[in-house]
Amino acid sequence: MTHAAPVTQPEAVAHSQPEVVPSPPLEEASAEAVEEVPEAHEASLAQHRTGPGFDPRKVEVLSLDRPRAFLYHGFMSAEECDHLVALSRSGLHKSGVVDAETGGSLVSDIRTSSGAFIGRGHDAVTRSLEARIAAWSQVPETHGEAFQVLRYELGQEYRAHFDYFFHKAGALRLACD
């Protein structure tokens, strides 16, 4: 399992206030997964909460121009990854795709994985990850979204596709240039 997180930093950030939409609820995970943070993990959390916390030697430049993108090796610890997996287990369901007409979710043969969402601020581990993502990306935590954990078993896939959405007025809405 890789513990690296690709991060794209926009060249210019619009400062408009986007609408905040609550994350979909995750079915209740086991009490152990939600409430207890293993002692071994506490040290990892403390390391990422304190000091600069970032090691420039772990940063790989993927692109410096359109988009500006970096890969931070070891962004999440193995314990953090295991924690997110444990939280997601009880909420896994067949992954959907966005219905272009309604904006809702629908099941499609192009995506065969299963997935779960973990709401923002779910517990100490997710809050620590959210703070780290905000610090690294220089985007406020309030602009973040729920974590989405995907599980692909052998032979499952998300086939090639185009991501696009039409605004209510009919204009194409682009996420990036």
Is residue 165 one of the residues assigned to a domain? no
Cα–Cα distance for residue pair 77/119, rounded to 1 Å: 20
- pLDDT of 12 above 60: no
**Domain of 65, in residue numbers:** 1-9+25-93+117-154
Is residue 20 one of the residues assigned to a domain? no
Cis peptide before 18 (omega within 30 of 0): no
HSE-up (13 A, CA, CB side) for residue 173: 8
User: pLDDT by residue (tens digit) across 31-65?
Assistant: 444 445 455 545 544 454 433 467 889 999 999 98
Is residue 1 one of the residues assigned to a domain? yes
Is residue 104 one of the residues assigned to a domain? no
Cα–Cα distance for residue pair 133/144, rounded to 1 Å: 9
Is residue 101 one of the residues assigned to a domain? no
Query: Cα–chain-centroid distance for residue 76?
Result: 12
Would the pTM count as exceeding 0.75?
Answer: no
Domain total in the chain: 1
Is residue 162 one of the residues assigned to a domain? no
User: pLDDT by residue (tens digit) across 107-127?
Assistant: 888 899 999 999 999 999 999
Cβ atoms 90, 28 nearer than 8 A: yes
